[in-house]
Amino acid sequence: MRELDADKRFALHRNTGAGDKAFARGRTSPSSKRRAGTREREKYGAVLEATMGAIARCRHPIVAMIHGVCVGGGLEVITQCDLRICGASSRFGIPIKNLGLVVGYGEMQG
Protein backbone atom coordinates (compact mmCIF):
# COMPACT_ATOMS: atom_id res chain seq x y z
CA MET A 1 0.00 0.00 0.00
CA ARG A 2 2.87 2.39 0.74
CA GLU A 3 4.28 1.81 -2.75
CA LEU A 4 0.89 2.50 -4.32
CA ASP A 5 0.54 5.61 -2.21
CA ALA A 6 3.87 6.92 -3.48
CA ASP A 7 3.03 6.23 -7.15
CA LYS A 8 1.71 9.48 -8.64
CA ARG A 9 0.47 7.76 -11.81
CA PHE A 10 -2.67 6.58 -10.02
CA ALA A 11 -5.87 8.57 -9.68
CA LEU A 12 -7.50 5.99 -7.39
CA HIS A 13 -7.23 2.40 -6.22
CA ARG A 14 -9.98 -0.16 -6.61
CA ASN A 15 -10.11 -3.09 -4.21
CA THR A 16 -12.14 -6.15 -5.17
CA GLY A 17 -12.37 -9.77 -4.18
CA ALA A 18 -10.93 -12.51 -6.37
CA GLY A 19 -14.36 -13.24 -7.84
CA ASP A 20 -18.02 -12.44 -7.43
CA LYS A 21 -18.68 -14.79 -4.49
CA ALA A 22 -16.70 -13.01 -1.81
CA PHE A 23 -14.77 -9.84 -1.16
CA ALA A 24 -13.19 -11.51 1.86
CA ARG A 25 -14.72 -14.64 3.29
CA GLY A 26 -12.67 -14.49 6.46
CA ARG A 27 -11.13 -17.29 8.41
CA THR A 28 -9.85 -17.72 11.91
CA SER A 29 -6.24 -18.59 11.49
CA PRO A 30 -5.05 -21.61 13.48
CA SER A 31 -2.07 -19.49 14.44
CA SER A 32 -4.36 -16.90 16.04
CA LYS A 33 -4.94 -19.29 18.93
CA ARG A 34 -1.18 -19.53 19.45
CA ARG A 35 -0.88 -15.75 19.43
CA ALA A 36 -3.31 -15.21 22.29
CA GLY A 37 -1.46 -13.87 25.32
CA THR A 38 1.96 -13.82 23.67
CA ARG A 39 4.33 -11.30 22.15
CA GLU A 40 3.29 -12.66 18.77
CA ARG A 41 -0.18 -11.28 19.39
CA GLU A 42 1.27 -7.84 20.02
CA LYS A 43 3.43 -8.03 16.89
CA TYR A 44 0.45 -9.17 14.83
CA GLY A 45 -1.65 -6.32 16.21
CA ALA A 46 1.05 -3.78 15.36
CA VAL A 47 1.33 -5.07 11.78
CA LEU A 48 -2.45 -5.06 11.36
CA GLU A 49 -2.78 -1.55 12.76
CA ALA A 50 0.05 -0.30 10.50
CA THR A 51 -1.63 -1.90 7.49
CA MET A 52 -5.00 -0.34 8.25
CA GLY A 53 -3.28 3.01 8.82
CA ALA A 54 -1.48 2.77 5.46
CA ILE A 55 -4.81 2.21 3.72
CA ALA A 56 -6.43 5.10 5.59
CA ARG A 57 -3.56 7.50 4.86
CA CYS A 58 -3.20 6.65 1.17
CA ARG A 59 -3.17 9.87 -0.88
CA HIS A 60 -5.30 8.30 -3.61
CA PRO A 61 -9.00 7.54 -3.06
CA ILE A 62 -9.58 3.85 -2.41
CA VAL A 63 -12.82 2.29 -3.62
CA ALA A 64 -13.92 -1.10 -2.24
CA MET A 65 -16.17 -2.95 -4.69
CA ILE A 66 -17.91 -5.58 -2.58
CA HIS A 67 -19.71 -8.62 -3.94
CA GLY A 68 -20.74 -11.52 -1.74
CA VAL A 69 -19.35 -12.11 1.73
CA CYS A 70 -17.18 -9.52 3.45
CA VAL A 71 -16.25 -10.57 6.96
CA GLY A 72 -13.42 -10.39 9.43
CA GLY A 73 -10.29 -8.70 8.14
CA GLY A 74 -12.06 -7.83 4.90
CA LEU A 75 -14.59 -5.83 6.86
CA GLU A 76 -11.76 -4.05 8.64
CA VAL A 77 -10.13 -3.23 5.29
CA ILE A 78 -13.28 -1.68 3.83
CA THR A 79 -13.69 0.57 6.88
CA GLN A 80 -10.47 2.27 5.79
CA CYS A 81 -11.57 2.77 2.17
CA ASP A 82 -12.91 6.10 1.01
CA LEU A 83 -15.91 4.65 -0.81
CA ARG A 84 -17.66 1.28 -0.51
CA ILE A 85 -19.84 0.03 -3.35
CA CYS A 86 -21.90 -3.04 -2.52
CA GLY A 87 -23.72 -5.49 -4.73
CA ALA A 88 -27.09 -7.07 -4.00
CA SER A 89 -25.25 -10.19 -2.80
CA SER A 90 -23.12 -8.34 -0.22
CA ARG A 91 -23.20 -9.68 3.34
CA PHE A 92 -21.14 -8.46 6.28
CA GLY A 93 -20.07 -9.88 9.63
CA ILE A 94 -17.51 -9.87 12.39
CA PRO A 95 -16.98 -13.54 13.31
CA ILE A 96 -14.30 -12.80 15.92
CA LYS A 97 -17.17 -12.03 18.28
CA ASN A 98 -17.65 -15.81 18.42
CA LEU A 99 -14.18 -16.04 19.96
CA GLY A 100 -15.05 -13.47 22.62
CA LEU A 101 -12.91 -10.83 20.90
CA VAL A 102 -13.64 -7.39 19.50
CA VAL A 103 -12.11 -5.43 16.65
CA GLY A 104 -9.39 -3.16 18.02
CA TYR A 105 -10.07 0.55 18.09
CA GLY A 106 -6.83 1.30 16.26
CA GLU A 107 -7.84 -1.04 13.44
CA MET A 108 -11.17 0.73 12.98
CA GLN A 109 -9.88 4.31 12.95
CA GLY A 110 -10.16 5.85 9.52
Report whether 64 contacts 81 (CB < 8 A). yes
At 84 the pLDDT is: 92
The whole-number average pLDDT for the span 15-22 is: 72
At 24 the pLDDT is: 74
pLDDT greater than 60 at residue 91: yes
Whether this prediction's pTM lies above 0.75 is answered by: no
Q: How much of the chain, in percent, has pLDDT values that exceed 90?
A: 5
What burial letters (b/e) apply to 16-33, b meaning 16+ CB within 10 Å? ebeeeebbbebeeeeeee
pLDDT greater than 70 at residue 30: no
CB atoms within 10 A of CB 100: 6
pLDDT greater than 70 at residue 109: no
Q: How many residues does the chain have?
A: 110
